[in-house]
Amino acid sequence: MNMNDDNFFNWQGKAVNKTVTNQVAWNIPAAKVTALTTRRAWYEPLYHKAQEKDERTKADVDRHRQARKLYEKELRAFLNAHIRYNEDVPRDEKIAMGVPPRDLEPTPRGKIDAVPYINLKPLGGGDIQVRARAEKDKTMASMHPLADGIECKYLIVPKGEMAPEDIDASGMKTQTSKKARFTVSCGLKHTGDTFYGFFRWANLSVPANSGQWSTKAAGMVIA
């Protein structure tokens, strides 16, 4: 969250005060709390000096800016380490301190109703590069927002033999990637053969929400 200097000053004060008051009940190491309060004691005078508009200098403002950057980084690291994931800290206390507790329930993702746009590129060495796109008019590889992977079913067909009709063809292999651009290693022994692949957006945690299969894409395996 982004806060102006006044809001940050007030927030850090409340967060540190609650930590000091409850450090024993919340099982926070005393040395960590001491380090935090020492840093607060160093920061607050610099804040107050920077607020004296009639007396402050540019150097005062710069010192405060650098001090806040350092202190805020350390404070947030402390809160993440000792408050956010600390089961001894009540949920309402975390919220009051401006430290949202971890979400134990993953946000559900709906059924994917799109088919990936696929580009195949022979790389040589028996490899085929797959580039999947969520939008047809884009050129860069991209993942569908509801997907966390690409599932590929493929078959390498010798020259002169029939291409597979669908994903249920005999001998199909499966490969799943968490990236929209990936490589399928066909092997040099298949040089001159044709790679046929069917692709779909995958929901790896709830497969039933994965998308529909694409039409087959083809590319020649080269040495």
Tens of pLDDT along the chain (223 residues)? 578 999 999 999 999 999 999 999 999 999 999 999 999 999 999 999 999 999 999 999 999 999 999 999 999 999 999 998 898 999 899 998 988 876 655 567 789 999 999 999 999 999 999 999 998 777 788 999 999 999 999 999 999 999 999 999 999 999 999 999 999 999 999 999 999 999 999 999 899 999 999 999 999 999 9
Coil/strand/helix, residue 207: helix
> What one-character-per-residue DSSP string does 95-161 give?
HHTT-PPP-SSPPP--------EEEEEEEETTEEEEEEESSTT--S----TT-SEEEEEEEEE-TTS
89-109 confidence digits (pLDDT tens): 998 999 989 888 766 555 677
Q: What superfamily in CATH does domain 117-220 come from?
A: Immunoglobulins (2.60.40.10)
| Long-range contacts, stretch 12-15, CB < 8 angstroms, 24+ apart | 12/40, 12/43, 12/71, 12/72, 12/75, 13/40, 13/44, 14/96, 14/97, 15/75, 15/79, 15/97, 15/98, 15/99
Each domain of the chain, given as residue ranges in start order, spans 5-96, 117-220
**CA–CA distances in Å: residue 156 to residues 39, 151, 159, 173:** 64, 16, 10, 9
* Tokens matching residue 179: 């990236």
pLDDT mean across residues, the chain: 92
119-157 confidence digits (pLDDT tens): 999 999 999 999 999 987 777 889 999 999 999 999 999
Nearest CA among 18, 26, 20, 19 for reference residue 87: 26
